[in-house]
Chain A
Amino acid sequence: MKIAHPRTLDEAFEALQRMPGAQLLAGGTDFVVEVNFGHRRPPAVVGLRRVAELQGWRRDDGELVLGAALTFTEIETQLAGELPALAAAARTVGSPQMRNAGTLGGNLGTASPAGDSLPVLAAMDARVVLASQAGERTLPMTEFVTGVKKTAIQPREVIREVRVPRLRGPQQFLKVGTRNAMVISIACAALVVDLDGRSVRCGLGSVAPTPVRAAEAEAFIAGEIDWDGPHAAAGAVARFGELAAAAASPITDHRSTAEYRRRAVQVICTRALTRSLA
């Protein structure tokens, strides 16, 4: 097992070329645990935490461009104003120690069904920018995560950044777990109101192999909202929660039953919409 410490993306590509099958390493909170427990033993590792192009975030026209090495602590403390749902999700990840190390790019690369940033990025219609020696390509979230811990990343590709539209309107993230800190999600939901586009977008986490959008619920509520408020009748908000729950395809495992997960989705989606309306 060998390790490379590139400082630029070009050096990272070179390391990936030199060491076929190398594992990309960001904050280590997923990968190093797997090595500790003997589940993973890649021939080589490319440590990305020094790569300049992956650091920080910036505004770019109507988008926020988030570097893959952005930590959850940085999201929580620097982006609460611009991306409140993503910041709220970051705040629920693990402990301060985990949030200090864990990165947005790492959360995407691991693509756990319980990855807390994923439903937010899905609801925001975020796009993932992948970079390689051959150039860059940009994928919507729905095409980036392809299954349980599976992504569209090809060998020798690196997640460079995530492009998130800047939207006007309330953004919520709600998560259900056994306590408020240090918890892996049983179910979570992100709800984004786009006042200019007159749409409500809802992403669900931990209730399907990949983050899912509650498309039927979104289409239903868009027709029910009085956008001058924005306001919606109580019956319509309740129906939205039911339709969102129907979009989940949860399983029963050691964290929760499928029934509880579906019910949790209904409750948190109803609550998130209620909080977002006048």
Chain B
Amino acid sequence: MSGDASDALHDPATTDIRGRRDQLRAEEGPPVVEALETYRLTVNGREREVEGAWIGESLLYVLRERLGLPGSKNACEQGECGSCSLMLDGVLVASCCVLAADAVGGDVRTVEGLSPEGELTDVQRAFVEQGAVQCGFCIPGMIVAMHDLLDRQPDADELALREAISGNLCRCTGYGRIFAAFHAVKEERARAST
């Protein structure tokens, strides 16, 4: 993988983990090529080819480092923080806990696929208007989780929201503005439907 364009990417946590992965790959011994695979994923409605990947790579890693989709964020890599949340076959999951090669045949929808390129969803717009974003790192996962809740339960109240985002950790906003954005979306949708 050295020399790969993705080496230019930044995140120290990712680099560190990739370093360990490269080491693991090397330990597997020759012929290394047998450990690498090419497979196809359906991401945001498009067929994407993943070439020469190690089968142990998470879906989060493949999206960010191989497919150029850095919207899903990489923080804990253990399902604790929710910043890598996306929809797999219509179900909200933490993509750090999904093997990319096990998502073959599945429908992957990331934060980038929530709306046509260059446009914001109503939830995203509400986050901007309500000032629900500070550092922003948790926000893509938060947006995906909030869309999932409102899709499943359009009349969800704040208690339901608190439970729905209990696995999306935000360390800056104190959540108050995030709740405000949620109420703004609900009001806007209620107005639109009358």
Decide: A41 near B20, CB < 8 A? Known: A95-B82, A182-B166. Answer: no
Please determine whether B167 and A181 come into contact, CB atoms closer than 8 angstroms.
Answer: yes
Please determine whether B79 and A98 come into contact, CB atoms closer than 8 angstroms.
Answer: yes
Please determine whether A96 and B55 come into contact, CB atoms closer than 8 angstroms.
Answer: no
CB-defined contacts of A38 to chain B, threshold 8 Å: 17, 20-21, 23-24
A262 at the interface (CB under 8 A from B): no
10 closest residue pairs by CB, A with B: A95-B167, A181-B166, A1-B55, A38-B20, A47-B102, A97-B94, A36-B77, A33-B78, A35-B56, A3-B101
B28 at the interface (CB under 8 A from A): yes
Please determine whether B79 and A29 come into contact, CB atoms closer than 8 angstroms.
Answer: yes
Please determine whether A41 and B166 come into contact, CB atoms closer than 8 angstroms.
Answer: no
Please determine whether A101 and B98 come into contact, CB atoms closer than 8 angstroms.
Answer: yes
Please determine whether B79 and A94 come into contact, CB atoms closer than 8 angstroms.
Answer: yes
CB-defined contacts of B78 to chain A, threshold 8 Å: 33, 36-37
CB distance from B138 to the nearest CB of A (A): 13
Chain B residue nearest to A48 in the complex (CB)? B102
Is chain B's binding surface mostly helix, strand, loop or mixed? mixed
Please determine whether B167 and A98 come into contact, CB atoms closer than 8 angstroms.
Answer: yes
Q: What are 22 inter-chain pairs, A to B, with CB distance below 8 A?
A: A2-B37, A3-B99, A25-B102, A28-B99, A35-B56, A36-B77, A36-B96, A37-B17, A37-B78, A38-B21, A41-B24, A45-B102, A97-B94, A97-B97, A97-B167, A98-B79, A98-B167, A100-B91, A100-B93, A101-B98, A180-B166, A181-B167
Decide: A1 near B102, CB < 8 A? Known: A28-B97, A29-B79, A96-B166. Answer: no
Chain A interface extent, by class: 20 to 34
Chain A interface (Cβ within 8 Å of chain B)? 1-3, 5, 25, 27-29, 32-33, 35-38, 41, 45, 47, 49-50, 94-98, 100-101, 180-182
Please determine whether A2 and B55 come into contact, CB atoms closer than 8 angstroms.
Answer: yes
Cβ-defined partner of A98 (8 Å) among B17, B20, B94, B145 = B94
CB distance from A205 to the nearest CB of B (A): 20
B127 at the interface (CB under 8 A from A): no
Please determine whether B79 and A33 come into contact, CB atoms closer than 8 angstroms.
Answer: yes
B92 at the interface (CB under 8 A from A): yes
Chain B residue nearest to A33 in the complex (CB)? B78
Decide: A95 near B99, CB < 8 A? Known: A2-B55, A100-B93, A181-B166. Answer: no
